[in-house]
Each structure stands twice: as C-alpha cells, then as structure tokens.
Structure 1
Amino acid sequence: MDEIDRIFERFLQCNFFSGGVCSISIDGQTVFLKAYGKADLVKNLDTKPHTIFDLASITKIFTTTIILQLIMKKKIFLSTPLKHCLPITSRNSTLANITINQLLTHTSGLKAWHPFYTNLPNDNFFEVLEEIDLIERSSDEVIYSDLNFMLLGEVVKEQFNEDLEIVVNQHIGKPLELSSLTYQPSKHSEIAATEFGNRTEMKMCEDRNLRFEDWRSLHHPISGDVNDGNAYYFFSGKSGHAGLFSNIKDLMKLGDLYVKGGSYKGKQLIRKELIDYSLDRQAHNRGLGWEVGGVFPEGAGHTGFTGTSIWVVPEKKLTVGILTNRLHVEKPKNINPFRKEIFETVLKRYEKLKGDL
C-alpha cells in the first residue's frame, strides 16, 4: 500500500523515529508487511520484518492474556480482591481490597508511576509499596498506571508459583508458537535500539526530587535491555507492565488470538465470551487491559512507550501491528498522530485489502 509507505516516509523524514515495521492481517492472513528505516543508527542496522523490538507497555496485553486464562480456569475472578490471590497484600490496607477488575481497567486509584529503583537498596516490591504514597485520586476515575500491571505480574507469579518468564513462555509463547517472544533477548539478535540512556525518566525523577545514581550511559543507545527503568533497574528485566521483546510476526499472532475469539489453530485458549468482554469498553476508555478509543478508530488496542502499537477489530477480523523505535532519535516526540493516520488509512482501504486476500 503506497499510502502507508508515504506516511512512514513522511514521519521518518521528520525524525519521529528512525525505523519501523508495519503488518496488517485479515482473518489471520497477512495482507501487508513492510520494514522501514534504521533499527539502530549507531550500528547502521536496517530495520527488517524480523527485527526484534522492546514492546514496552504492550507487555500488559500479554499479562492480561494470562490473567484471562486464570479467570477461565476459575483460579481467580474479576471480583477477586488482591488479599485473596496475592496474600502478601493483605497487610496493606490500600491494596488488600483492590480487585483484579480494577487493576485490568486502571480504576484502582493507584498513582500512575513511581520509580521503584530510587528506593534501592530495598528491592522488596511489597516493602516499597508500604513506604510510598499509593493513591492518586478517587478510584472511580481511570488512572493509567504501571503499578496496576506490576501487581498483576505478581498475581501471575503467585498463582503459578513460577518465574514470570517461564509462565509467559508456557502459557502464551508455546501455545501460539511465538519464537521471538522473550523477556531477555539474545544480544546477537537484530534488535531495534531505544533511548540514549534513560533521559526521559531522569527528568521525571528530577521533577519529583527523587535521586538515583546508577543510570545507564547517555552516550549509548539501549539495545537488547528493556528501556523501562522499573523493569530494568528494579525487576531485573521481567515485570507484568514492561519487559517483553518480540518481532512483528509474533505480536500479530497475539492480536489474531483476540480477533479469532481466543482460538489458535482450532484450539480454544481463552473462552470467546471472555475475549469479547475484554475488548469492550468497561470504564471510560478501558477494556480489560485494552484501550478503547483514543488513537484507535474502532475495536481496541494498546501502545508502548518505545513506539509500539497493536490494534484489533474483531468485527472485521483485522489486526494491525506497528513497531517503531521512536525513542532512538535526538529528541523523542509523541507519535500518536502517526499511529492514528496509519489506522485510519487501513480502515479506509479495508475493502481493498480484503479483496487482495
């Protein structure tokens, strides 16, 4: 599609990112797949369709998928309070009665962000939660918060009594045959670079008068390690809110799972009613884990801070994935206008794309 090429080239020229990949599938069949620009400016590495990207907050959709599997197996319910599925939280009056539903829909009232690494050497997540002011505003509002999904990651670990990486691999990676999905990619892989050090978070900590001394170098781009500071410095690369890496093909398979009502190659991995419910608007602009509205003209989707996005429209059996390295530029910009333009172009050309099948 020439129009998508033109949009990518225009935003590349304006330094919104240095490289990216776009894929479109209808009913699981790829109708468009193309890579653009440079994955790593320092290594002069071209972006390829198989380039691996730091998914950033799209990790939350993988965490959501495992939580839905636990709900399907009746291990937990949307109404389950944390104290019943993550017993360590019972001693924290703020956390104890927050439900799985509130965490998934970002209606828990928990603050949007806290740099847990500024509390090191205390590396106990639950002890740090005791130390900090957790609540931002009244809980009937949506506050998009990494803390919600850090906690859901801990719920997953508790319920399976297993490391997060092992659970993700066993319950999503293997069933969906995702060969690139991982928390810690091999340094030999072709990986899209992200920020030159954690410049954004340095500024965020500065604004909050919080000190941290062990920042990564500002002179080298981050590559192969997770960009997110909490995931990298505090959670050793593995968390429910960030940390996963993947190529576009594997990300599309996750999108297709939702488009096809929880089924993969004839096997029902999640009940269709649960999948449909998760994509429906539950509170303001949130489904379960998913975002409804915003840059997504219909259906549901999710974005990631590094420049990633996944968008699904079950009624059209449509999945769109965009992976960019928006932080791998001199001055990172908001790429939502780019995302919106791509998605609206895909909708406009949907019938033509469908005809190409």
Structure 2
Amino acid sequence: MDEIDRIFERFLQRKFFSGGVCSISIDGQIVFLKAYGKADLVKNSDTEPNTLFDLASITKIFTTTIILQLITRKKISLSTPLKNCLPITSRNTTLANITISQLLTHTSGLKAWHPFYTNLPNDNFFEVLEEIDLIEKNSEEVIYSDLNFMLLGEVIKEQLHEDLETIISQHIGKPLELSSLTYQPSNRFTIAVTEFGNRTEMKMCEERNLRFEGWRSLHYPISGEVNDGNAYYFFSGKSGHAGLFSNIEDLMKLGDLYVKGGAYKGKQLISKELIDQSLNQQVPNRGLGWEVNGIFPEGAGHTGFTGTSIWVVPEKKLTVGILTNRLHVEKPKNINPFRKDIVETVLSNYEKLKGDL
C-alpha cells in the first residue's frame, strides 16, 4: 500500500526511528507486510520482515494473556486479591487487597514507576516494595504503572510454579506456534537495536535524586538485551511488564487470538467473554490489559516505549502490528503522530485491503 510506504518514508526522513516493520491481517490472512530502514545504524544492517524487536510494554499483553488463561481455568478470578493468589503480599497492607482486575486496568493506585535497580544490592522485589512509597495519588484514577504488571508477573510464577520464560513458552509460544517470542534472544536472529545506553532512565533517576552505578555504556546501542532498566538490571531480563522480544509474525498471531475471540486453530485458549471484556472499556481508556481510545479510534491496542504497537479491531477481524526502533536515533521523539497516521490510513483503506483477500 503506497500510503503506508509514504508515511514510513516521511517519518524515517524526520528521524522518528531508523527502521520498522508493518503488518496488517484480516481474519488471520496477511494483507500487508513490509520492512523499512535500518535495524542497526552502527552495523548498517537493514530491517527485515523477520527482524526481532524489543517489545517493551507490549510484554504486558502477553502477561495479560496468561492471566486471562488462569481466569478461564478458574485458578484465579478478576476479583481475587493479591493476598489470595500471591501470599507473600499478605503482609503488605498496601498490596494485600489489590485485585487482579485493578492491576489489569491500572486502577490499583500504585505509583507509575520506580527504578528498583537503585535499591540494589537488595534484589528481593517484595522487600524493596516494603521500603518504597507505593501510592501515587487518588487510587480511583487510572495510573498507568509498570508495578501493576511486575506484580502480575509474580502472580503468574506463583500460580504456575515456573519461571516466566518457561511459562511464556508453554502457555503462549507452543499453543500459538510462535517461533521467535523469547525473553533472551539468540544472535541467530537479526535484532533491531535500541538506545545508546539507558539515557532516558539515567535522566529520570537524576530528576528523582536516585543513584545507580551500573549503567550500560552510552557509546553503543543496546542489542539483544531488553532496553527497560528494571527488566534488565533488576529482573535479569524477565518481567511481567517488559522483556519480551518478537518478530512481527508472532506479534500478529497474538493479535489474531484476540480478534478470533480467544481461539486458535479451533482450540479455545481464553473464554470469549473474557476476551470481550479485555478489549472493551472497563475504566476510562482501559480494558483488561489493553488500551482503548487514545490513538486507537476503534478496537483496542497497546504501545511499547521502544516504538512498538499492536492494534486489534474484532468487528473488522483486523490486526495491525507496527514495530520500530524509535530509541535508535540521536534524539528520541514521541511517535504517536506516526502511529495515528498508520491507524487512520488502515481504517480509510479497510475495504480496499479486504478486497485484496
């Protein structure tokens, strides 16, 4: 589609990112797939359709998927408080009564972000949670917080008695036949690099007067390691809020699972009712795990800090994946104008795309 080519070229020239991949499917059939620009400017390597990207916060949708599977299997429910599904939290009065639903919808009241690595050498997540001020403000508000999904990652480990890598592989990778999804990618894949060191988080820590001495070098782009500081320095690359890598094909399969009401190849992995709840507004602008409204005028979506996004519109059987390396530029910018242009172009050309099937 020429319009998408033009949008990518325009934003590449303006250095919103150095490379990207876009894929569109209708009813599980790919109607558009194309790669643009460079995966790595230092090595001058091209972005390819199967290039792996650091998904950043799209990891949260994979975490959501496991949680919805647990609810489908009646191991937990949306109203289950943390003290009942993650017993270690029962001693923390702030956390004990927070429900699964509140974590998924970002209505727990927990603060938006804390650099847990600044508490090292204490690497015990629950001990650090005891040490820090957890509440941001009025808990009736939606506060998009990584802490919510760090906790959901811990719930998953507690309930399934495995580490996150094994759980993701067994409960999403195998059932959906995903070949690239992983927490720690091997170099047999082409991987899109990200930031030159954790410049953004260094600044965020400075603003909060928090010290950390273990930063990665600012001279090289981060490659094959998760960009997110908490995931990398504190959680050894694996967390419920960030850490997963994937190519566009595997990301599209996850989107299709939601478009098709929680079923894959005739097998119901998540109840249709839960899928519907997850993609529809439960609180302002949020479904269960997913974002509604904002840059997604229909359906639901999620973005990632590294420049990634997934968008699904079940009524149209539409899935759109956009992976970019927006941090691999001299000065990172907000790429929502780019995402919005793609979304609007896909909607206005939907009938034409459908006709291509």
Q: TM-score range by the shorter chain?
A: over 0.9
Q: 2:91 matched to which residue of 1?
A: 91
SS at match of 1:289: coil
Deviations 1:185-220 (A, max 9, x none): 003320000000000000000000000001000000
Distance in 1 of aligned mates of 2:29 and 2:187:
31
Q: How much does 1:138 deviate?
A: 1.2
Gaps of 5+ in 1: none
Structure-1 residue corresponding to 2:270 = 270
Q: Which residue of the partner structure matches residue 308 of structure 2? A: 308
Q: Distance in 2 between matches of 1:3 and 1:189?
A: 29
- After TM superposition, the structure 1 = structure 2 runs for residues 118-129 of structure 1, keeping only pairs within 5 Å, are 118-129=118-129
Displaced runs of 4 or more, over 4 A: none
* Counterpart position of 1:206: 206
Match of residue 251 from structure 1 = 251
The residue type paired with residue 199 of structure 1 is R
Question: What is the rounded CA distance, in whole Å, between the counterparts of 1:247 and 1:139 in structure 2?
Answer: 36
Paired position in structure 2 for 1:232: 232
Report how many aligned residue pairs link the two structures: 357
Cα distance in 1 between the residues matched to 2:317 and 2:143:
30
1:167 is aligned to 167
Q: Offset at 1:182?
A: 0.1
- Could you say what secondary structure the match of 1:185 adopts? coil
Match of 1:339 in 2: 339
Q: Who is 1:287 aligned against?
A: 287
Amino acid at match of 2:21: V
Q: Residues of 2 paired with 1:101 and 1:122: CA distance?
A: 29
Match of 1:216 in 2: 216
Whichever residue aligns with residue 320 of structure 2, its letter is V
Give me the identity figure in percent: 87
Deviation string for 1:8-63 (max 9, x for gaps)? 00000000000000000000000000000000001111000000000000000000
Superposition deviation, residue 297 in structure 1: 1.3
Question: Who is 1:9 aligned against?
Answer: 9
CA distance in 2, matches of 1:267, 1:189: 30
Query: Alignment partner of 1:302: what SS?
Result: strand
Alignment-derived partner of residue 117 in structure 2: 117
The letter for the 1-side match of 2:315 is: E
The residue that corresponds to 1:104 in the other structure is 104
Hey, what does 1:135 align to over in structure 2?
135
Task: Give, in angstroms, the shift of residue 113 of structure 1.
Answer: 0.1
Determine the structure 2 residue equivalent to 1:76: 76
Could you state the TM-score of these two structures normalised by the residue count of structure 1?
1.00
Q: For 2:230, what is the secondary structure of its paired residue?
A: helix
Deviates more, 1:110-119 or 1:264-273: 264-273
The answer to whether structure 1 residue 32 and structure 2 residue 32 are counterparts is yes
Residue 61 of structure 2 is matched in structure 1 by 61
RMSD between superposed Cα atoms in Å: 0.4
